Amino acid sequence: MSRTFGPQFQDDGSVCFTVHALACDRLSLQIEGEHAQEIPMNQTEPGLFMAHVNVPAGTRYWYRVPDGNPRPDPASRFQPEGVHRPSELIDPRSYLWGDGAWKGIAKEAMVLYELHVGTFTQEGTYTAAIERLDELVELGVTAVELMPVAESAGRWNWGYDGTNFFAPRHTFGSPDELRQLIDAAHQKGLAMILDVVYNHFGAEGNYLHPFGGYVSPRHQTVWGDAPNLDSEDSAMMRDYIVANSRYWIEEFHFDGLRLDATHCIIDHSPRHIVGEIGDAFAEMQERLGRELHLIAESNIYDAQLLAPLDADGYGFDAVWCDDFLHAVAAELQPETHMSDRRYLAGEDIDTTLRRGYVFRGAIGVKRRRIPLSEDATPADWRSLIFSIQNHDFVGNHPEGWRLHQVTSHEAQRAAAALMLVLPAMPMLFMGEEFATDSPFYFFADFGDMHLREAVEQGRRREHPQHDWSQVVSCLSPAAFRKSKIGSREQGSSETWKWYRDLLRLRKQWQAAGILTGDHLTAAWDQLWRTALVTYKTDTQAGFAVVRLHPQGEHPEPLTVSIDGKVHMQQGCQTTGDGRFVLGDYAVLVGEGTVSFENR
């Protein structure tokens, strides 16, 4: 029998308040406001407390634990005044959905767009985000990936410090306003993916300790307490995590979840918790009858995550494979290292183009570089998510600089072309498509002074390769305010049109059946600093030639011969006889065949 977490409205109009508290011998429900009262809860079984009360949605309440302190609900659906204040009763049945015909987006058609609700618009709300959805549709995006929305401390936060896993962040709006955003996206043909964090609890506002059973007695993380996933009494917390993964899909109609840092979820149980989440998704996929997507941030290629459940895998649909991002960065910024893994110019982009990844590992298995000579078998490209920028890559730079700011507009457009002509699932980071000049800083708003100091010092310690002497404090209002991406009109129209046209071409190639791993041949020529990507079927052929190199370097011009039609180009001169001379950050994309004449 599955456990229930959080209050549930009953058919007779009453509410059944349910809380799991393994360390408590008594609990009381403290109702605030018009219906103020304190009600002793019944312990129906060890560690499980219940109370039936007639109160309306919108009522605020606490649980009083044995030490006498009132605490928010461990499964609160809303914290309207933040993590330190009472929870609010939410009736999910009150929202009338308009997406009944929605069946989702197939994995092959996914073009992801990662955004932070608070900085995507000036207002920073769920409802304000609705106003920009048409812009994404026009661009060619098919799926939005929200950075975490679980309630975390302070007025602003990236979202990875959540403590109330079931409560959408109050500064963005109400739970029903989040439902409005998802509903509107579906009616415009956009899938919605949510980033969730199951590897730790935020360091401020975690009131779970006195309840018992939620926090690991064995493990700790650098970010905060670890969830209790592998102790003798961990069954409840494991059910809590699985219930949370179901909650976002069933009650909010999200189309999938992206699990943050799966390799950092500490679980030494016989079966890892990600497998149980995989089971839940498989069941929901069959029952709900719409496309669902389970994505892992593994950073490297993890075949076990992607393997089917019946083949001892975890049943995930895709992984964030950052090897592409870092291999591209190694060509554009060889002196800058944004990962604890060292990427090699020339070698690693060639390996990624040929096989899809550089490093391989699994949960609990050491990650290591896999040479092509050891295993040249390509990964399933459809299950790899590639990007050239994401929240970490931009935000972990002290100045929050975007790719075009540390390289050039031409360099970014070349990198984007390479990403979008490959069969991997592409992901854009908000503002990338129009090369916003707004930075994206790391930002948080903790109240605890010791924690504030630890965060500042931790940033410097985690990324010692940067100069931190003259930067905006990640705890300042300015870090949040300056990270708002601004309007498309304030950015580069040339870059926006470039992305739009590439996405249109990508869609055409997909419809024609060209853009698949089976038809792909790709490699890197280090001498000419050029990627050559070709597709060939019995009746069709496509190509892309992309040059990447560090800023300030000017590779020797490369002459190529095209037998076919060029659809898009940058940094090229034509001689009028099918020959093109490729200069800095050159791009040629088209149909037909291509050959290098300088070789």
Q: Are 488 and 496 in contact (CB under 8 A)?
A: yes
Q: Which residues pair with 227 in a beta bridge?
A: 215
The two beta strands, 42-45 and 48-53, are antiparallel
User: Is 325 annotated for ligand binding?
Assistant: yes
- Angle made by CA atoms 486, 491, 497, in degrees to the nearest 5: 125
Q: How far, rounded to the nearest angstrom, does the alpha carbon of residue 439 sit from its chain's CA centroid?
A: 19
Q: Is 260 annotated as a binding residue?
A: yes
* CA–CA gap between residue 86 and residue 109 (Å, rounded): 42
CA distance 339 to 322: 10
> Is 131 considered catalytic here?
no
The answer to whether 394 is annotated as binding is yes
Annotated ligand binding at 258? The verdict is yes
Task: Extract the tokens encoding 76.
Answer: 């609160």
Q: Do the annotations mark residue 323 as ligand-binding?
A: yes
Asked whether residue 563 is marked as a ligand-binding residue, the answer is no
Which residues, other chains included, contact 428 with Cβ-Cβ below 8 Å and sequence gap of 6+? Answer: 111, 112, 113, 114, 141, 387, 389, 499
120 annotated ligand-binding residue: no
- Give pairs for 247-251: CB < 8 Å, separation 24+: 247/166, 248/194, 248/196, 249/281, 249/284, 249/288, 249/292, 250/284, 250/288, 251/92
Q: CA-CA distance, 244 to 598, in Å (whole number)?
A: 58
341 annotated binding-site participant: no
Q: Report the alpha-carbon distance of residue 460 to residue 380 in Å, rounded.
A: 37
| Cα 153 from chain centroid (whole Å) | 20
Q: Which of 88, 195, 260, 276 is catalytic?
A: 260
566 is in an annotated binding site: no
Give the separation between CA 144 and CA 112, rounded to whole angstroms: 6
**67 catalytic per annotation:** no
Burial of 599 from C-beta contacts in 10 A (0-12 / 13-18 / 19+): exposed
- Amino acid identity for residue 467 in this structure: D
The dihedral region occupied by 589, where left means phi > 0, alpha psi between -120 and 50, and beta the remainder, is beta
Q: How far is CA 349 from the centre of its chain?
A: 23
Among candidate residues 276, 297, 302, 350, the one labeled active-site is: 297
Does the annotation list 302 as a binding residue?
no
Query: Per the annotation, does 91 bind a ligand?
Result: no
322 annotated to a ligand binding site = yes
Q: Reduce the DSSP state of residue 420 to 3 states and report it.
A: helix
Ligand-binding site membership of 390 (annotated): no
Q: Which residues are annotated as a binding site for substrate?
A: 258-263, 322-326, 391-396
Give catalytic residue positions: 260, 297
